C-alpha cells in the first residue's frame, strides 16, 4: 500500500495560514499570506513591521527582534496602523526570521464583507466564519423582528403619548417668581438668584460655570427657538424669546426669556444678564383649545387606530374611519356625530369571541371611570385588538371618555413567529454545542440553556439567580467582565476569550460573543452571551502550529517515521543534505543509510533507547551522505500521540552543524593562540617597564649629583629647569608604573579572601600624603567583602588619591561611606574639590584621559579603577559639577 506523506509548497501553506507574516532580523516584512495581502494591499515586501503593525497583547512598545522572540508560544494580538484590523495568532522562530501565523479578529460578517473577503480567503480549519455566520443569521432575524416590534410599539407610544397629553390639558403649572442669571461673554453663568434655582431644580454649584442652554435644553426644546436666543447673544444684541426650559428632574416649563448685553467702557460685551419668566400657565391657557384640536386631528388623520370620543351622556362626539372599518360601520364618521351610544356595548358584542365577558368588562370600566391601557380582545374572525379607555375630567367633573382600538393581529402573529424563531435559535445553539446565558444589569444569571449547563458543569437551578463572575472567574478576569458589561450598557457587541473554571474546578478557555439584551421597549436590560469551549481547540492550535513549522520548507531537514522508525516522509532539505531522494528513503530506517565509521555508537544507542521509550531525543551525530561525504547534524525529535495516548509516528528536525563544528575547532585553536599572545605581551610589558624605568632613575640620580656638586654655579633659572626635569622624570616613572599596573589587573589570578574595606581605607589614609588643609572622614562602618586585597587597595587608593590631589579649597574635605543592598554594596567617595564638567563624566575612565591641568595627573588612575571594577562585574559612576566637588560611586557585588 502506498505510504502517506506530506508535501508542502507555498500555495499549500497559504491555504493553511493565508494571513501569515514573515519578518527578518531587522524587522523587515519578507513575506505575506495571500489573504493578508488582499486585506492590507498597501503593505509591500521590505516594509518595516513596526510602522505597519503594533503588538497590542501582550503590549510591547516599538518591539525589537528579541522582544518578539520573548513572546513566542503565547497568544498575540496585532493591531494595524493602516486599517482598523486586529490579527490574533502566535510568533515562532523560522530560521533567522520570525513567522507569525493567525487570522483576523472579526466580530461580525460586516467586517468581513467590508474587506471584500470571501470564504476562500480563510483557512478551512478556521472556525471564525462559521461563528460569524451564526451570529449574523441570529442578528438579522432578531433585527427584523425588533424592527417590527419597534414599529408596533412606536404606534402604541404615539397613542399613549397623545392620550397622556389629553389628560394634561387641564393642568396648569404653578406660578413662580422670575429667575435672573448673569453670564460671561462666552455664556458661562457666574451668578443666579434663588428663583432661578427654584424654577429649574438645580443647585447653585450645578449651575455656576455652565451655560443657560446646557441647563435648560431638553427633548421638548425647539431648535428654532434656541436659534432666536443664541443668534442675538453671539452678536452682542438683546433678545426676547419664548421657549421650553427643562428641569433637573426631567420635566420642563415654558419661559419668556429676555437677555441684555452689558457693555464695558470700550463698548464691548463684557457679560450678559437674562430674566427668565415662567409662562407655562399662560401658554397652556392660550393653546389649550388649539392643542386639543391639533392632537385630535393628528390622531384622526394619521393614526391607524380606531378612536371614539363620547360625552358624559354617551353621545358620540368623534369617531374616525379606522374605528368604523373595524366594526363594520358603513356610514361616514361625520354622520355619526351626536348618536346615542347607550346601547353600543350590546350592539358590538357580536364581534367578540367572548361576548359576555366583553360586556361585563366594558360596563365595569364605565362604572369605575379610571384609565385602562392596552387591554387585549379577541374577535370571532380571528383578529386581535388592544383597547384603551381614558376618562376625561374638567375641574374634577366627568365629561366623557376616549376609547382607542389598535389592531394587533400582525403583532400577535409576529409574536408567534418570534417564539418559533427563538425555539429554532435555541435548537441551533444546542446542536452547535454553544452555551447561551442571559444576565441582568447586575451580572445575575436569568437564563441558561442546556449546552451552557454542560460546559459549565452546573445544572439550571444552580445557575439561575447567581452572579456569573463569582461562579466562573478569578479576580483578574472579573475586571475584564466588568468592562464588557459596561460596553453592553452602551449597546456594544463584541467577542473575546477568557479563562474560567467549571464546577469541578477545571481551568477552561471560553470564546464569548456578548451582546446587549433589550426588552420590547428597546431598553437595555442586561446582556446575552454565546459561549464556546475552545480548550481543546487551543491545545490543537499549538500542536497544529508545531506541525506546520516542521512541514514547512526551510534549511533544516525534517523527517517523519512510523512507529517502527521507518521513514514515511522527508522534506527537500533532508534530501539535499543526505543526497538521497524521497523515493530512496521511504520505508528505510535512517541509520541503515546515514551512519558510518565515525558515528558514535553511544549516540546510536541513545537514539534507540529514547525512541523505544517514546521519549524526546536531542543529540549531535556524524552522518554520511549518498556520496560518502561525512557531516555533523544536530537531531531534535519526539513521538506523536493520538487521542488515546498511543504513539502513531516520530518526527525529527536535523540541522547541519558541520560548519559550526569547524568553527568550534578554530575557536579553540584561536583561544590557545590568544592566551599565548597575551602571555608574551605581558612579559613584554614587564621588560619594557624595566628598561624604561632604569634610564629614568639614572637621569634622576645624575640631576641630583649635578645639583649637589655645582648648585652655587647655576643660576636660579637653571635650578628651576632642573627641578622641572625631576618632576617630569617622576611623572614618567608614575606613568610607566600605572601602565604596568593597568596591564596586569585582569592578567593575574585573583585571590578570593575576606577583605575588610574599613581597614584597607584606614591604611590608605595613613600611607598617602594628605595636606594639612584636607580632612578625610569615614562616615559609617565599611563592610567585609570577598575580593583580592591588592586590587581593592588599588581601587580605593586611586580614587582617594585623586580626590586629595584636586582639592584647592582652604578647608578640604573627603567623605567615605557605604550602603548595603540585598546582593551588593555601594561605596561613595565625596570631595569638595574642583569638580568635573558633565560632558566629561563618561570619558574620565578612559586611559590617558585627564581633564585637569594638575601635574599629578597621569591619565591612568581612574582607568585602573574602572578596570578593577569591571574585573568584579561591578559598576562605577560619578556625580559632579564644576566648582562644586565630585562624588564617585562604586557598586561591588557581595
User: Is 221's pLDDT higher than 50?
Assistant: yes
Q: What pLDDT sits at residue 890?
A: 95
Domain stops at, among 258, 286, 314: 286
Assess whether 336 and 447 both reside in one domain.
Answer: no
Write out the three cell numbers for 99.
Answer: 513567522
Assess whether 274 and 349 both reside in one domain.
Answer: no
Q: What pLDDT sits at residue 775?
A: 94
27 domain residue, yes or no: yes
User: Is 854's pLDDT higher than 80?
Assistant: no
Assess whether 604 and 567 both reside in one domain.
Answer: yes
Mean pLDDT across 126-152 = 64
544 domain residue, yes or no: no
End-to-end alpha carbon distance in the chain: 69
Distances (CA, A) of 424 to 417, 428, 430, 431, 437: 10, 6, 10, 11, 16
Enumerate residues 6+ apart whose C-beta is below 8 A from 411.
148, 149, 152, 384
User: Is 860's pLDDT higher than 60?
Assistant: yes
Percent of the chain with pLDDT over 70: 81
Mean pLDDT across 679-693 = 59
Do 181 and 277 touch, CB atoms closer than 8 A?
Answer: no
Q: Of 309, 439, 305, nearest to 385 (Cα)?
A: 305
Q: What pLDDT sits at residue 686?
A: 60
DSSP H helices in 745-820: 757-767, 789-805
Mean pLDDT across 681-708 = 65
Assess whether 496 and 396 both reside in one domain.
Answer: no
Write out the three cell numbers for 842.
Answer: 563618561
Q: What pLDDT sits at residue 172?
A: 27
At 250, give phi and psi (nearest 5°).
100, -10
Q: What pLDDT sits at residue 117?
A: 77
Domain stops at, among 740, 765, 781: 740
Q: What pLDDT sits at residue 247?
A: 93
User: Is 639's pLDDT higher than 70?
Assistant: yes
- Higher per-residue pLDDT: 345 or 697: 345
Percent of the chain with pLDDT over 90: 34
418 domain residue, yes or no: no
Assess whether 202 and 264 both reside in one domain.
Answer: yes
pLDDT tier at 672, thresholds 50, 70, 90: confident
Assess whether 695 and 801 both reside in one domain.
Answer: no
155 domain residue, yes or no: no
Assess whether 673 and 784 both reside in one domain.
Answer: no
pLDDT tier at 521, thresholds 50, 70, 90: confident
- How far apart CA 634 and CA 104 sit, in angstroms, is 37
pLDDT tier at 429, thresholds 50, 70, 90: low
Do 530 and 447 touch, CB atoms closer than 8 A?
Answer: no
**Total count of domains within the chain:** 7
Domain stops at, among 713, 740, 767: 740
Mean pLDDT across 180-190 = 91
pLDDT tier at 169, thresholds 50, 70, 90: very low
CA angle (777 as vertex; 775, 778 as ends), nearest 5: 165
- How far apart CA 74 and CA 68 sit, in angstroms, is 11
703 domain residue, yes or no: yes
143 domain residue, yes or no: no
What's the domain range around 194? 179-286
- Higher per-residue pLDDT: 327 or 751: 327
Q: What pLDDT sits at residue 40?
A: 85
Q: Which CATH number belongs to the domain containing residue 752 in this structure?
A: 3.30.565.10
User: Is 164's pLDDT higher than 50?
Assistant: yes
816 domain residue, yes or no: yes
pLDDT digit string, tens, across residues 522-572 = 889 999 998 888 888 777 667 656 665 665 656 788 898 998 889 998 888
Assess whether 704 and 759 both reside in one domain.
Answer: no
Segment among 171-185, 365-379, 438-452, 879-893 with least mean pLDDT = 171-185
Residue 31 CB: number of other CB atoms within 10 A?
17
Q: Which CATH number belongs to the domain containing residue 240 in this structure?
A: 3.30.450.20
User: Is 839's pLDDT higher than 60?
Assistant: yes
Spell 569-582 as b/e; 16+ CB within 10 A means b: bbbebbbebbebee
Q: What is the pTM (predicted TM-score) of this model? A: 0.27
Amino acid at each position: 500500500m502506498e505510504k502517506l506523506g506530506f508535501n508542502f509548497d507555498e500555495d499549500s501553506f497559504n491555504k493553511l495560514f493565508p494571513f501569515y507574516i514573515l519578518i527578518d532580523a531587522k524587522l523587515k516584512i519578507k513575506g505575506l499570506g495571500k489573504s493578508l495581502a488582499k486585506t492590507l494591499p498597501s503593505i509591500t515586501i521590505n516594509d518595516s513591521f513596526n510602522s505597519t503593525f503594533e503588538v497590542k497583547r501582550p503590549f510591547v512598545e516599538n518591539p525589537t527582534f528579541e522582544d518578539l522572540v520573548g513572546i513566542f508560544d503565547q497568544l498575540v494580538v496585532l493591531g494595524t496602523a493602516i486599517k482598523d484590523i486586529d490579527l490574533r495568532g502566535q510568533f515562532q522562530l523560522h530560521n533567522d526570521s520570525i513567522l507569525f501565523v493567525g487570522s483576523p479578529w472579526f466580530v461580525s460578517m460586516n467586517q468581513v464583507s467590508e474587506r471584500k473577503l470571501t470564504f476562500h480567503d480563510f483557512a478551512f480549519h478556521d472556525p471564525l466564519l462559521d461563528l460569524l455566520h451564526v451570529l449574523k443569521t441570529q442578528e438579522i432575524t432578531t433585527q427584523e423582528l425588533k424592527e417590527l416590534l419597534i414599529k408596533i410599539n412606536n404606534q402604541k407610544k404615539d397613542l399613549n403619548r397623545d392620550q397622556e397629553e389629553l389628560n394634561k390639558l387641564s393642568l396648569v403649572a404653578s406660578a413662580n417668581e422670575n429667575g435672573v442669571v448673569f453670564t460671561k461673554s462666552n455664556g458661562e453663568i457666574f451668578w443666579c438668584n434663588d428663583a432661578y434655582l427654584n424654577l429649574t431644580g438645580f443647585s447653585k454649584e450645578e449651575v455656576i460655570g455652565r451655560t443657560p442652554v446646557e441647563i435648560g435644553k431638553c427633548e421638548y426644546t425647539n431648535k428654532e427657538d434656541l436659534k432666536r436666543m443664541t443668534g442675538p447673544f453671539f452678536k452682542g444684541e438683546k433678545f426676547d424669546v419664548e421657549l421650553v426650559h427643562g428641569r433637573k428632574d426631567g420635566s420642563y416649563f415654558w419661559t419668556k426669556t429676555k437677555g441684555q448685553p452689558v457693555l464695558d467702557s470700550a463698548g464691548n460685551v463684557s457679560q450678559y444678564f437674562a430674566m427668565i419668566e415662567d409662562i407655562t400657565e399662560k401658554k397652556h391657557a392660550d393653546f389649550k383649545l388649539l392643542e386639543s384640536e391639533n392632537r385630535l386631528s393628528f390622531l384622526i388623520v394619521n393614526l391607524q387606530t380606531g378612536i371614539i370620543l363620547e360625552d358624559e351622556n354617551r353621545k358620540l362626539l368623534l369617531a374616525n374611519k379606522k374605528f368604523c372599518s373595524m366594526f363594520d360601520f358603513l356610514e361616514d364618521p361625520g354622520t355619526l356625530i351626536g348618536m346615542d351610544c347607550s346601547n353600543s356595548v350590546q350592539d358590538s358584542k357580536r364581534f367578540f369571541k367572548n361576548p359576555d365577558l366583553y360586556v361585563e368588562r366594558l360596563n365595569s370600566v364605565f362604572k369605575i371611570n379610571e384609565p385602562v391601557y392596552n387591554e387585549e380582545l379577541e374577535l370571532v374572525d380571528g383578529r386581535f385588538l388592544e383597547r384603551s379607555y381614558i376618562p376625561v375630567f374638567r375641574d374634577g367633573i366627568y365629561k366623557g371618555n376616549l376609547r382607542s382600538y389598535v389592531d394587533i393581529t400582525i403583532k400577535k402573529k409576529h409574536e408567534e413567529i418570534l417564539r418559533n424563531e427563538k425555539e429554532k435559535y435555541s435548537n441551533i445553539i444546542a446542536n452547535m454545542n454553544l452555551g447561551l446565558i442571559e444576565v441582568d444589569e447586575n451580572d445575575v444569571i436569568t437564563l441558561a440553556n442546556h449546552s451552557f449547563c454542560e460546559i459549565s458543569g452546573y445544572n439550571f437551578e444552580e445557575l439561575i439567580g447567581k452572579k456569573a463572575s463569582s461562579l466562573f472567574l478569578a479576580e483578574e478576569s472579573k475586571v475584564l467582565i466588568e468592562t464588557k458589561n459596561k460596553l453592553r450598557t452602551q449597546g456594544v457587541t463584541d467577542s473575546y476569550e477568557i479563562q474560567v473554571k467549571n464546577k469541578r474546578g477545571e481551568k477552561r478557555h471560553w470564546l464569548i460573543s456578548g451582546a446587549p439584551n433589550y426588552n420590547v421597549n428597546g431598553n437595555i436590560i442586561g446582556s446575552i452571551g454565546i459561549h464556546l469551549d475552545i480548550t481543546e481547540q487551543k491545545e490543537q492550535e499549538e500542536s497544529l502550529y508545531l506541525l506546520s513549522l516542521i512541514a514547512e520548507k526551510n534549511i533544516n531537514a525534517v523527517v517523519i517515521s512510523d512507529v517502527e522508525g521507518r521513514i514515511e516522509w522527508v522534506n527537500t532539505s533532508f534530501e539535499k543534505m543526505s543526497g538521497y531522494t524521497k523515493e530512496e528513503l521511504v520505508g528505510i530506517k535512517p541509520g541503515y543509510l546515514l551512519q558510518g565509521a565515525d558515528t558514535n555508537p553511544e549516540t546510536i544507542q541513545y537514539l534507540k533507547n529514547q525512541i523505544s521509550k517514546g521519549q524526546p531525543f536531542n543529540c549531535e551525530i556524524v552522518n554520511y551522505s549518498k556520496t560518502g561525504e561525512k557531516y555533523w547534524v544536530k537531531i531534535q525529535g519526539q513521538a506523536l500521540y493520538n487521542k488515546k495516548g498511543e504513539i502513531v509516528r516520530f518526527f525529527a528536525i536535523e540541522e547541519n552543524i558541520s560548519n559550526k563544528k569547524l568553527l568550534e575547532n578554530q575557536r579553540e585553536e584561536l583561544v590557545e593562540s590568544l592566551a599565548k599572545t597575551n602571555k608574551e605581551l605581558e612579559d613584554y610589558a614587564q621588560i619594557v617597564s624595566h628598561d624604561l624605568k632604569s634610564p629614568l632613575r639614572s637621569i634622576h640620580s645624575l640631576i641630583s649629583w649635578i645639583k649637589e656638586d655645582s648648585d652655587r654655579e647655576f643660576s636660579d633659572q637653571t635650578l628651576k629647569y632642573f627641578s622641572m626635569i625631576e618632576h617630569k622624570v617622576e611623572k614618567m616613572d608614575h606613568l610607566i608604573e600605572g601602565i604596568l599596573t593597568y596591564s596586569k589587573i585582569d592578567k593575574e589570578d585573583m585571590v578570593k579572601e575576606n577583605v575588610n574595606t574599613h581597614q584597607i581605607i584606614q591604611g590608605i589614609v595613613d600611607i598617602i600624603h594628605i595636606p594639612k588643609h584636607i580632612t578625610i572622614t569615614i562616615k559609617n562602618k565599611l563592610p567585609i567583602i570577598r575580593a583580592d586585597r591588592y586590587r581593592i587597595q588599588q581601587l580605593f587608593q586611586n580614587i582617594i588619591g585623586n580626590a586629595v590631589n584636586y582639592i584647592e579649597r582652604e578647608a578640604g574635605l573627603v567623605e567615605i561611606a557605604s550602603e548595603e543592598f540585598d546582593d551588593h554594596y555601594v561605596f561613595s567617595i565625596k570631595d569638595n574639590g574642583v569638580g568635573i564638567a558633565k560632558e566629561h563624566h563618561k570619558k574620565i575612565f578612559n586611559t590617558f584621559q585627564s581633564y585637569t591641568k594638575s601635574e599629578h595627573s597621569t591619565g591612568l588612575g581612574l582607568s585602573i579603577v574602572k578596570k578593577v571594577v569591571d574585573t568584579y562585574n561591578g559598576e562605577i559612576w560619578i556625580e559632579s559639577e564644576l566648582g562644586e566637588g565630585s562624588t564617585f560611586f562604586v557598586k561591588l557585588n557581595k
